[in-house]
Amino acid sequence: MNRLSRLSVVLLVLLACVACASAPRSASTNEYGGRAQAPAVSPAKPALDAGQPGESQQSDERMIVRTATLSLVVSSTDDAVASIRSLAASFGGYVVDTNLWRDEEQLRGTVTIRVPADDLDAVLQELKKLSVKVERESGTSQDVTEEYSDLGARLRNLEATESELLELLGTVREKTGKAEDILAVHRELTNIRGQIEQLKGRMQYLDRTAAMSAVSIELIPDILAQPIAGSGWRPSATLVSALRSLTGTLRFLVDAIIVLVFYLLPVLAVVLIPVAALVLVIRRWRRRSSRKIV
């Protein structure tokens, strides 16, 4: 008997038990086999209307996920990072990620923070004050209200189904006691519970991202923003570049000599020696021929 057949048998048993009005209704067991009061949900009644909004979205407020990106020219990257940390903490936010690296002896970096969505505009204004110049600014807004409402409706449907399966599990244990029927219902409970946890996780993620906006800040040292004509002369950099070029040239010459001595000369020797021997043989033959004619 496959899984669908077993579930059909279990459902028929449940309907037969419900039809027996004279039989006393006992408390059902919970998911782990303990005794629990069964919820009063009729199997024939639709669990929930899928068009109803989620519990936390019953009001007319929209759930908007906002993000922002800034490229700031700063006089000191280290000081800017410290100021950004303090700024995020002062607004009740936190630093998500920090990445710093050296580019021609200048420290560059990126910082990602999360701040309360209601304070995003104020945070952006404060961040701009930390810079010498704002190179680039962009932002996005995503309305996730409909998705969140749909998740809430699906969650309530699954929770209602879980309650009915718990009631069914208790009835099967009391009326039939067959292990295969109990395991079939329990597998369905496990599947429903997994879907419930997935929906809850997605809803929690939307809650967090809507409540705390992400801001990505690129930090550019002030010296890199200056025109090339205004940069100072650096003899050390020229010397390093010249030495690198010299080293590259010497490496090429040494490699060429090695290839010539250990590859080309042996190959030429193998080819030329037989040719030279053949030329000598031909010359001698011609000389002997000329003498015979004379």
269 found inside a domain: no
Contact 140, 82 (CB under 8 A): no
Q: What type of residue sits at position 138?
A: S
d(CA 64, CA 118): 11
Q: What percent of the chain has pLDDT over 90?
A: 43
Q: pLDDT value at position 229?
A: 47
**End-to-end distance of the chain based on CA atoms, in angstroms?**
114
Please list, in sequence order, all residues whose beta carbon lies within 8 angstroms of the beta carbon of residue 100, skipping any fewer than 6 positions away: 77, 81, 107, 108, 109
Q: Record the pTM.
A: 0.51
Q: What is the pLDDT of residues 122-166, one digit of tens each?
A: 999 999 999 999 999 999 999 999 999 999 999 999 999 999 999
279 found inside a domain: no
Q: pLDDT value at position 225?
A: 46
Please list, in sequence order, all residues whose beta carbon lies within 8 angstroms of the beta carbon of residue 101, skipping any fewer than 6 positions away: 107, 108, 109
243 found inside a domain: no
244 found inside a domain: no
248 found inside a domain: no
Q: What is the pLDDT of residues 251-287, one digit of tens each?
A: 999 998 998 888 888 888 888 888 888 888 888 888 7
Decide if pLDDT at 41 tops 70.
no
Strand, coil or helix: 291: helix
pLDDT grade for 20, boundaries at 50, 70 and 90: very low
Q: pLDDT value at position 7?
A: 52
Q: What is the pLDDT of residues 162-194, one digit of tens each?
A: 999 998 888 888 888 788 888 888 899 999 999
Q: How many domains does the chain have?
A: 1
77 found inside a domain: yes
d(CA 109, CA 185): 55
239 found inside a domain: no
Give the range of the structural domain holding residue 8, as residue numbers without chain letter. 1-228
Residue closest to 176 by CA, chosen among 26, 10, 6? 10
Residue 215 tokens, joined: 């801001």
Question: If you compute the radius of gyration of the chain from its CA atoms, what whole number of angstroms results?
Answer: 40
d(CA 58, CA 150): 12
268 found inside a domain: no
pLDDT grade for 81, boundaries at 50, 70 and 90: very high
pLDDT averaged over every residue in the chain: 78
d(CA 39, CA 45): 13
